[in-house]
Amino acid sequence: MKKTGVILGFLMVFFTTIQAQNKAAAQKISLEERMKWWEEARFGMFIHWGIYSVPAGFYKGEAQTNSAEWIMNKGKIPIAEYEKFAAEFNPTKFNAKEFVALAKQAGMKYMVITAKHHDGFSMFDSKASDYNIVDATPFKRDVLKELAKACQEQGIKFGFYYSQAQDWHHPGGLGNTWDKDLKRVSSDQYVYEKALPEVKQLLTDYGPIAIFWWDTPREMTKSVVDSLYHITTALQPKIITNDRLGDNYPGDHKTFERNGPRYKPEARYWELCQPISGSWGYRSDDNKFNSTETLIRNLIDQSSKGGNYLLNVSPTSEGTLKPEAVERLKDIGSWMDKNSEAIYGTQASPVTTEPEWGRITMKTVNNKGLLYLHVYNWKEGASIPVALKNKVESCYLLTDKKRSFKTQTDEDGIKVALTGTAPDQVASVIVLKLQEMPNALPQKPLGQDAEGVVVLPAVKAQYENLQGPGAQYNDHTDTVGSWESETARVYWNFDITKPEEMEIIAQFSGEKDTQIKITFNGQSKTVTVPASGNPKRFKTVNLGCFNVTKAGKHEVSFMPVADKWHQVNLKEVKLQPKK
Residues 415 and 505 in one domain: no
DSSP 8-state code for residue 122: B
Residues 424 and 497 in one domain: no
pLDDT at residue 455, as a whole number: 93
Got the DSSP string for 32-71? HHHHHHHHHH-EEEEE--SGGGTTTTEETTEEPSS-GGGH
Percentage of the residues of the chain whose pLDDT score is greater than 70: 93
State the pLDDT confidence band at 8, using cuts at 50, 70 and 90. Answer: very low
Residues 271 and 308 in one domain: yes
Look over the chain and give the mean of its residue pLDDT values, rounded to a whole number.
91
Higher pLDDT, 537 or 99: 99
Q: What is the dihedral of CA 63, 175, 211, 44, to 10 degrees?
A: 20
Spell out the residues 6+ positions from residue 356 whose beta carbon is closer than 8 angstroms to its own.
377
| pLDDT at 330 exceeding the cut of 80 | yes
State the pLDDT confidence band at 62, using cuts at 50, 70 and 90. Answer: very high
**Rounded Cα distance, 269 and 306, in Å:** 8
Could you tell me if 272 and 298 are in contact, meaning their C-beta atoms sit under 8 angstroms apart?
yes
Mean pLDDT of 38-61: 98
Could you tell me if 388 and 397 are in contact, meaning their C-beta atoms sit under 8 angstroms apart?
no
Spell out the residues 6+ positions from residue 353 whose beta carbon is closer than 8 angstroms to its own.
387, 443
194-203, 442-451, 452-461: segment of lowest average pLDDT: 442-451
Spell out the residues 6+ positions from residue 177 whose beta carbon is closer than 8 angstroms to its own.
none
| pLDDT at 27 exceeding the cut of 80 | no
Closest CA to 247 of 25, 482, 24, 489: 489
| pLDDT at 6 exceeding the cut of 80 | no
Secondary element (H or E) of residue 235: helix 222-235
Q: What SS3 class is residue 454?
A: strand
Higher pLDDT, 105 or 29: 105
pLDDT at residue 4, as a whole number: 44
Mean pLDDT of 515-533: 90
CATH number of the CATH domain containing 379: 2.60.40
Of the residues 339, 366, 388, the one at which a domain ends: 339
Higher pLDDT, 375 or 15: 375
| pLDDT at 9 exceeding the cut of 60 | no
Got the DSSP string for 458-508? GGG-EEES--STT-SEETTTTEEE----TT-EEEEEEEESS--EEEEEEEE
What's the predicted TM-score (pTM) here? 0.86
Higher pLDDT, 579 or 469: 579
pLDDT at residue 85, as a whole number: 98
Q: What SS3 class is residue 550?
A: coil
State the pLDDT confidence band at 92, using cuts at 50, 70 and 90. Answer: very high
| pLDDT at 32 exceeding the cut of 90 | yes
Could you tell me if 386 and 432 are in contact, meaning their C-beta atoms sit under 8 angstroms apart?
yes
State the pLDDT confidence band at 535, using cuts at 50, 70 and 90. Answer: confident
409-428 pLDDT, tens digit per residue, is: 998 899 999 999 999 999 99
| Amino acid (one-letter) located at 178 | W
Could you tell me if 42 and 309 are in contact, meaning their C-beta atoms sit under 8 angstroms apart?
yes
Spell out the residues 6+ positions from residue 284 whose beta carbon is closer than 8 angstroms to its own.
56, 57, 58
Residues 406 and 501 in one domain: no
> What is the number of helices (H) and of strands (E) in the chain?
12, 29
State the pLDDT confidence band at 331, using cuts at 50, 70 and 90. Answer: very high
pLDDT at residue 466, as a whole number: 64
CATH number of the CATH domain containing 281: 3.20.20.80
Cα radius of gyration (the chain)? 25
pLDDT at residue 7, as a whole number: 44
101 exposed, middle or buried (CB, 10 Å; 0-12, 13-18, 19+)? middle
Mean pLDDT of 101-108: 98
**Rounded Cα distance, 189 and 196, in Å:** 10
372-393 pLDDT, tens digit per residue, is: 999 999 999 999 999 999 999 9
Residue 442 in any domain: the answer is no
Higher pLDDT, 299 or 567: 299
| pLDDT at 12 exceeding the cut of 60 | no
Residue 346 in any domain: the answer is no
| pLDDT at 21 exceeding the cut of 60 | no
| pLDDT at 15 exceeding the cut of 60 | no
Residues 265 and 308 in one domain: yes
Mean pLDDT of 76-91: 98
Residue 186 in any domain: the answer is yes
pLDDT at residue 183, as a whole number: 93
| pLDDT at 14 exceeding the cut of 80 | no
pLDDT at residue 483, as a whole number: 67
Mean pLDDT of 525-538: 88
Residues 136 and 81 in one domain: yes
What domain range is 565 assigned to?
454-577
Residues 166 and 206 in one domain: yes
**Rounded Cα distance, 482 and 511, in Å:** 11
pLDDT at residue 217, as a whole number: 86
List strand residue ranges (DSSP E) for 277-412, in order.
Answer: 308-313, 358-365, 368-375, 383-386, 392-397, 400-404, 407-410
Could you tell me if 111 and 151 are in contact, meaning their C-beta atoms sit under 8 angstroms apart?
yes
Residue 126 in any domain: the answer is yes
**Rounded Cα distance, 579 and 100, in Å:** 62
pLDDT at residue 527, as a whole number: 92
| Overall number of domains in the chain | 3
**Rounded Cα distance, 369 and 240, in Å:** 29
Residue 448 in any domain: the answer is no
Closest CA to 382 of 355, 401, 351, 360: 355
352 exposed, middle or buried (CB, 10 Å; 0-12, 13-18, 19+)? middle
CATH number of the CATH domain containing 479: 2.60.120.260
Percentage of the residues of the chain whose pLDDT score is greater than 90: 74
